Amino acid sequence: MKPDGVSGVKPEPLTNPWLSGLLIGIVGLYIALLLGIPVVNIFYQAFREGIPAFLHRLTERELLSALRLTVLTALVVVPLNTFFGLCAALAIAHRRFPGRALLLSLIDLPFSISPVVAGLMLVLIFGRQGWLGSWNLRVIFAFPGIVLATAFITLPFVAREVLPVLEEAGTDQEEAAKTLGATPWQIFWRITLPNIRWGLLYGVILTNARAMGEFGAVAVVSGNIIGRTQTLPLFVEDAYRSYATASAYAAAVVLSLLAVVTLVAKEVMERGSHSRRVF
Amino acid sequence: MGITIEGVSKRFGEFQALHPTDLTIPTGSLVALLGPSGSGKSTLLRLIAGLEKPDTGRIFLTGRDATHASVQERNIGFVFQHYALFKHMTVRQNIAFGLEIRKASRAEIQARVDELLELVQLSGFGDRYPSQLSGGQRQRVALARALAVEPQVLLLDEPFGALDAKVRKELRKWLRRLHDEVHVTTVFVTHDQEEAMEVADQIVVMNQGRIEQVGSPAEIYDHPATPFVMSFIGPVNELSPRSQLSCQLPEVQTGPHQLFLRPHDVQIEVNPGSSGVSARVKEIIHLGREIQAELVLSDGGSLWAHLSREQYANQPLQVGQQVYVRPKVVKAFPVKKNDKKTEMTRVPVGA
């Protein structure tokens, strides 16, 4: 008896070596131009004056402060949007309610709005001349503003990654668990969450990457006050503009390494899962 | 007192999935809910399980009013068409799930899972994941998982629907044997009349949200209560009342009737002297254990006939040959005026 599931279907290898060579060549060249050369260049420039000089740049007070702010922002935004994205995906996938389609398109809104406009919207609400300006909330040019802007920009990732997984899995497994006596809480922790964990993890990683890298929206709301509301991407730009290119490259390397760490973390976790089970 | 359903109905938006329905399923029996898609059979099953809430009526499980009980409280076993196994758990973990929820001890779970793996003939497969099993194996795991919690009622929704023909046949026999061993009140949904006849003690034939007939496989086949049951269970020819074959029948004289003739109740003779209605052989199809002939009557109507292999060997037919047909048994159902139901169940000849 052979399994009738979807697993085990592998694409036929390309038989024409010229064609496969050409395809791989095109992709390789494109990636090298867009990604490879710039990244290598950043590392080259950062380390050009040697490792001690690089380390010295890293310990600059402004850079450290920017790094702290960026990590802090991610630490607040990622859990916030993970929770919200999970709620939104569960609601859209498993419930039928009025406004469901609207919610679905609203979640996508941050993808289609320019980050600068997103930042501006916050300024128009919380800024001194804004709707809530008279309340004197310290949002704009402060940490809450940076968090709000970043949360807005990274809103879609978790919901968008989790939703297709939920829809593909259907509600059969949840119903089966119900007939076996499981409470909604048990069903969520023991069935739903394990089923969506890779989609969720990927969404979290994307959210984190974007939260740490966001420039436009944060630039508008933060005021870019050095040592206080300057995140790492803002620091890079600021350093570059004031001809402190070495500092700019050092900070860029830190940002790239943060991205690499998240990707490696994802890879390690996926490997772990593969060795335990066959898909 | 297995399952009692009183006046239960269910509507999804504009669609009346189940009209008010009464049904009693005796303890320990194996019952099939049989009908075409949209007949309300799955809805009825899901209502019994508590996966849907009835709009009206009451549901009793083993004598207890379970109308407002949650799915979790009903202590049922449910098997889904597409298995619904927990993909991230091994076979063993799947089967143990219900027992863990009930906080059984480790030793108890271990023993029960071993016992069930043996029952479903998957003893060596406990550490596999569902994706490593064939369809038939997955469905047996789903059954073991449902049986693990010792349900008062076992409900199966098209349990063999996603399997290929051979595995299906094996699993049917196996379900029958399993039921003889375990004796749990079992209700399964199917659209396959052969499956229902082979497995069930009692068949509930459903159509358009209503029960058409309840009876043993033999009763349903030999004494269909409605034209729908007649045409849904087994192949039939529907005869026009004006057809040469039916105009002499006594029923036709008394009022409008729907007339059905089973293909194996068509007698074919080749002798020109016989009293039958003349017809021409249009097509001959070998179905394996019988031969199907399509006949065109001299009045233009067409008719399917089934011949056994011996009959065919004794009296071979050729396409284009002139034959004489006589109906052995015609089943007649009086047509009530304004009876929409009867009209809607009209099926093309040979269906």
Phi first, then psi: give them for residue B37, nearest 5 degrees: -65, 140
B330-344 average pLDDT score:
63
- Does some domain include residue A8? no
The beta strands (E) that lie in chain B are given as 3-12, 15-25, 30-34, 56-61, 64-65, 76-79, 153-157, 185-190, 202-207, 210-215, 237-239, 257-261, 266-269, 277-286, 290-297, 302-308, 322-327, 330-334
Greatest extent of chain B over all pairs of C-alpha atoms, in Å: 81
Q: What is the pLDDT of residue A274?
A: 52
Q: What is the pLDDT of residue A57?
A: 85
Torsion of CA B191, B193, B194, B195, to 10 degrees: 50
Interface mutation vs chain A, best among B73, B122, B132, most A CBs within 10 Å: B132
Average pLDDT in chain A: 85
B235-252 average pLDDT score:
76
Q: Is a pLDDT exceeding 80 seen at residue B274?
A: no
- Does some domain include residue A12? no
DSSP class of residue A109 equals H
Provide the domain limits for residue A233. 50-278
Domain match, A34 and A152 both:
no
Q: Are B103 and B154 in contact (CB under 8 A)?
A: no
Domain match, A115 and A202 both:
yes
Lowest mean pLDDT among A16-30, B73-87, B242-256: B242-256
CB-neighbour burial class of residue A50 (10 A; exposed 0-12, middle 13-18, buried 19+)? exposed
Residues 104-133 of B with CB under 8 A from A: 129, 131-133
Q: What is the pLDDT of residue A226?
A: 80
A135-140 average pLDDT score:
75
- Taking CB atoms and an 8 Å cut-off, how many pairs form between chains A and B? 82
Q: What is the pLDDT of residue A247?
A: 87
Q: Which residues contact A263 (CB under 8 A, 6 or more apart)?
A: A205
Does A180 sit within 8 Å of B145, measured CB to CB?
yes
Q: Render pLDDT for B131-188 as a digit per residue (tens, 0 to 9).
A: 999 999 999 999 999 999 999 999 999 998 888 888 888 889 888 988 988 889 999 9
Domain match, A31 and A148 both:
no
Q: Is a pLDDT exceeding 50 seen at residue A6?
A: no
Reported confidence tier of residue A5, pLDDT bands at 50, 70, 90: very low
Q: What is the pLDDT of residue B219?
A: 94
Average pLDDT in chain B: 88
More confident residue, A86 or B267: A86
Domain match, A144 and A170 both:
yes
What chain A residue is nearest to B101 in terms of C-alpha separation? A182
Interface mutation vs chain B, best among A1, A179, A193, A195, most B CBs within 10 Å: A179
A172 near B CB under 8 A: yes
Q: Is a pLDDT exceeding 90 seen at residue B43?
A: yes
Give the Cα separation of A22 and A27 in Å (integer): 9
Domain match, A124 and A32 both:
no
Domain match, A32 and A118 both:
no
User: Which of B72, B5, B32, B60 has the alpha carbon at shortest distance from B157?
Assistant: B32
Domain match, A74 and A178 both:
yes
Give the Cα separation of B220 and B205 in Å (integer): 9
- Does some domain include residue A6? no
- Does some domain include residue A152? yes
In residues, how long is chain B?
351
- Does some domain include residue A75? yes
Domain match, A22 and A77 both:
no
- Does some domain include residue A169? yes
Domain match, A117 and A206 both:
yes
DSSP class of residue A190 equals I
User: For position A83, which CATH number holds?
Assistant: 1.10.3720.10
Q: What is the distance between the terminal CA atoms of chain A, rounded to a whole angstrom?
A: 18
Instruction: Domain count for chain A, please give it.
Output: 2
What is the b/e burial string over A213-224, where b = at least 16 CB atoms within 10 angstroms of the residue's CB?
A: bbbbbbbbbbbb
ipTM: 0.81
The type of residue at B271 is N
Domain match, A134 and A41 both:
no
Domain match, A99 and A29 both:
no
Domain match, A22 and A148 both:
no
Torsion of CA B340, B342, B344, B350, to 10 degrees: -170
Q: Is a pLDDT exceeding 60 seen at residue B234?
A: yes
| Closest approach of B24 to chain A, Cα-based (Å) | 22
Q: What's the pTM value of the predicted model, to 2 decimals? A: 0.78
> In chain A, which residue ranges form alpha helices assigned H by DSSP?
17-31, 37-46, 51-58, 61-94, 100-112, 115-126, 143-153, 156-169, 172-179, 184-187, 193-213, 216-222, 232-241, 245-276
Does B101 sit within 8 Å of A182, measured CB to CB?
yes
